[in-house]
């Protein structure tokens, strides 16, 4: 586990693909418990360690995950994440091929299928359809893949994965949304690169950036920047 930032109220770590943020039916040890153990040992804390989950990343996704170390920070961060305006999240994705437009704003209506754990593009007005908006720009282009930077304006289920697949550029390794083949580690090339927000207690501007994964494809495309 790599700690990217910590103070008395918050802690941010760099999640690897295949780690889960919170416990689920798999029974695998979640990242939240790993962070708790780290805090308990580092600060020699007796008893139970408080740690609040403020947001989640899909299991196959990597990057910045922010936790709250106090109830005050948790309450305020939860409010900030709900607004989608006070917290700015930037993702990097390696996608198949090259988008037709170097940069664009994508607006789609999405419907989530709970049983399949998958989202689909729908028509406006369709039952349970929710508006999903993101902007992307192409950072680098390789022979078979491109590196995109994505900023979310909404926070829908599998939004990035679904919307990029809809323009013919599924995330590398993302079989669920049309990638040609899986990645060796079972993850997908979607990385929560940066999170920027006003500190919930000190009100300082905080910007936390996660280093790119060590996979060869990331190393090939990202250093060209």
Interval 116-136 mean pLDDT? 96
**Is 14's pLDDT higher than 80?**
yes
| Highest mean pLDDT pick, 15-29, 157-171, 209-223 | 157-171
Q: 174 an active-site residue?
A: no
**Among 7, 24, 28, 58, which one carries the catalytic annotation?**
58
pTM of the model: 0.94
Using DSSP, how many helices (H) and how many strands (E) does the chain show?
4, 11
| Mean pLDDT, residues 114-134 taken together | 96
- In whole angstroms, give the CA distance from residue 169 to residue 96: 5
Check residue 225 and give its pLDDT: 57
The pLDDT value recorded for residue 82 is 86
Query: For 22-37, how does the pLDDT look when each residue is reduced to its tens digit (9 = 90+)?
Result: 877 778 899 999 999 9
Helix, strand and coil in the chain, % to nearest 5: 20, 35, 45
pLDDT bracket for residue 224 (50, 70, 90): low
CATH number corresponding to 2-224: 3.30.2350.10
What does the pLDDT read at residue 91?
98
105 SS3 class: strand
pLDDT at 84: 72
In tens, the pLDDT along 184-200 reads 999 999 999 999 999 99
Q: What is the mean pLDDT of the chain?
A: 95
Query: In this structure, how many other beta carbons lie within 10 angstroms of the beta carbon of residue 41?
Result: 10
Give me the helices (H) in the chain, please. Answer: 31-42, 71-83, 159-166, 216-221
């Amino acid at each position: 586990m790599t700690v990217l930032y910590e103070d008395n109220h918050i802690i941010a770590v760099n999640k690897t693909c295949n780690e889960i943020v919170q416990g689920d039916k798999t029974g695998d040890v979640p990242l939240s418990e790993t962070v708790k153990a780290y805090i308990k040992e580092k600060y020699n804390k007796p008893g139970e360690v408080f740690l609040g989950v403020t947001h989640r990343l899909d299991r196959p996704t990597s990057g910045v995950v922010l936790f709250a170390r106090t109830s005050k920070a948790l309450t305020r961060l939860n409010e900030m994440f709900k607004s989608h305006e006070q917290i700015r999240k930037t993702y990097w994705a390696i996608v198949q091929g090259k988008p037709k437009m170097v940069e664009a704003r994508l607006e789609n209506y999405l419907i989530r299928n709970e049983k399949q754990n998958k989202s689909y593009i729908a028509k406006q007005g369709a039952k349970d359809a929710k508006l999903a908006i993101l902007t992307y720009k192409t950072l680098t282009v390789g022979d078979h893949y491109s590196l995109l930077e994505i900023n979310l304006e909404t926070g829908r289920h599998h939004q990035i994965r679904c919307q990029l697949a809809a323009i013919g550029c599924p995330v590398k390794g993302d079989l669920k949304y049309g990638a040609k083949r899986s990645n060796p580690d079972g993850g997908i090339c979607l990385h929560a690169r940066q999170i920027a927000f006003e500190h919930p207690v000190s009100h300082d501007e905080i910007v936390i950036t996660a280093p790119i994964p060590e996979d060869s494809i990331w190393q090939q495309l990202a250093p060209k920047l």
